[in-house]
Structure formats: C-alpha cells, structure tokens
C-alpha cells in the first residue's frame, strides 16, 4: 500500500469537503497541507488521518475530525500578528496548524503526557512559535493575556465571560457551550468594548472542561 498516495487522496477529499462548505481560505489550506496530520496519530489511525470523525489519542482523549478543526480555525480568522491561546492541546495538531498563521500560540492541556508528546512533535517539525504547558484551562490563562484569539476544545457549561478580560479589543473566542451530555453550541464571541458579540456557528459533541491538572498522566 502506498501511504503517500493514500495520504494525498485523503487530503484531496478533505479539501473538496472544505470547498463545498466554503471554509477553504488559501492560507488555511496551505497551513493544513504543511502540517503532516498522520504524524499526530497512532499508526493504526493513519489511514483515517483526513477523515471527518474523531479519533482516539492518549489519556482517554480524542482528536477532532479534520473538518471541524478547519471550520473552527477558519472562523477564528487568525492573522499573522496574532497571539493565540488554545485550551486543550490534545495531539498538538491544531496548535501546529495555527502556528503557521499566527505570531505565537500558547497551548495548554491538563495532561502531562499530551503536552510532552506535543512538544516532541513541534520540535520534529521545527515549529518554534508554540509554547506548550500543562495547566488548568478552565479559567483560561488570566495572567498572560491579552490574547487576540482564544479557542477551546472542551465545553463550558455556561458562557465563559471571564475570557473577555483575556482578549484584546476586537479579539475572538470560539468555545463550545452546553451540557456534559448531548450536543453543545459552538459559539464565536467577538470582543466589542466591554461586551461580546455572539454568533453561533454550529453544534458539536465535545468533552466538558475539567478543572485542575491531571496528577498522574
């Protein structure tokens, strides 16, 4: 089996789906193309690297489907000078993609295993503008803002208004809001003065945000 051909075919199918949904800006496509997705997955899932389904990773977590990741990053409108906070490093893939669009990405996860693996992957790809940290992301990173963009890959049970204080003027947060069980609303919150403008951009099923860091893994 020619994995290179399989990978190219998978990426081409992914690109067609993005174009069909109108979420394929050139810079975003180039960032995805430059970031080898299978390198962030266990070997058994390489054939599914560009699929739209969630795939398991370490620590009982999962990597979101490529289409959802692309839709969220497109909606963030990451710009070259931006400072981005990502809550939920996971495999590190989305931070790697955003590193090609932003000035700096700070990505945090409660699991040390995931942050250590992500660091190794960034080093292997010579990505130097991502800072990875094991931290409790349930309150963002209150002492390190302001950020121009914040994205959360875990759901808050109510509107995370505290993130407003961590955003620069005109900054954007994208986060799922809703119950632990069932679907959550994927909300895009833009900071205007001292308030948010909210736009709901879809429905997702992601894990709830967990407080504290994991002590063992």
User: Hey, what domains does the chain have and what are their CATH numbers?
Assistant: 3-204 (3.40.50.150)
Residue burial 81-116, b: 16+ Cβ < 10 Å; e: rest = ebbbbbbbbbbbbbbbbbbbbbebbbbbbbbebbbe
pTM as predicted: 0.96
Q: Can you give the pLDDT of all 217 residues of the chain as single tens digits?
A: 456 777 899 999 999 999 999 988 999 999 999 999 999 999 999 999 999 999 999 999 999 999 999 999 999 999 999 999 999 999 999 999 999 999 999 999 999 999 999 999 999 999 999 999 999 999 999 999 899 999 999 999 999 999 989 999 999 999 999 998 889 999 999 999 989 999 999 999 999 999 999 888 8
Kindly state the tokens that stand for 200. Answer: 């709901």
Q: What is the DSSP string of 130-154?
A: EEEEE---TT--TTS--EEEEEESS
Q: Which residues does 11 contact at the CB level (< 8 Å), separation at least 6?
A: 32, 33, 50
Kindly state the tokens that stand for 157. Answer: 């049970």
The DSSP secondary-structure symbol of 207 reads: P
């Amino acid at each position: 089996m020619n994995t290179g051909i399989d990978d190219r075919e998978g990426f081409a199918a992914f690109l067609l789906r993005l174009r069909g949904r109108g979420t394929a800006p050139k810079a975003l496509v180039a960032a995805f193309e430059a970031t080898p997705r299978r390198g962030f997955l266990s070997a058994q899932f390489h054939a599914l690297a560009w699929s739209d389904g969630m795939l398991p990773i370490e620590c009982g977590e999962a990597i979101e489907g490529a289409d959802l990741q692309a839709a969220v990053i497109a909606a963030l409108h990451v710009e070259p000078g931006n400072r981005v906070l990502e809550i939920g490093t996971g495999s590190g893939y989305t931070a790697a993609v955003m590193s090609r669009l932003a000035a700096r990405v700070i990505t945090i996860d409660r699991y040390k295993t995931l942050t250590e693996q992500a660091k190794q992957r960034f080093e292997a790809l010579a990505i130097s503008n991502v800072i990875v940290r094991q931290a409790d992301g349930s309150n963002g990173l209150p002492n390190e803002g302001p950020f121009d963009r914040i994205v959360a890959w875990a759901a808050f049970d109510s509107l995370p208004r505290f993130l407003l204080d961590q955003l620069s003027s005109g900054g954007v947060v994208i986060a799922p809001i809703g119950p632990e069980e069932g679907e959550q609303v994927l909300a895009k919150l833009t900071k205007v003065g001292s308030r948010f403008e909210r736009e709901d951009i879809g429905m997702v099923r992601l894990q709830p945000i967990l407080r504290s860091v994991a002590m063992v893994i």
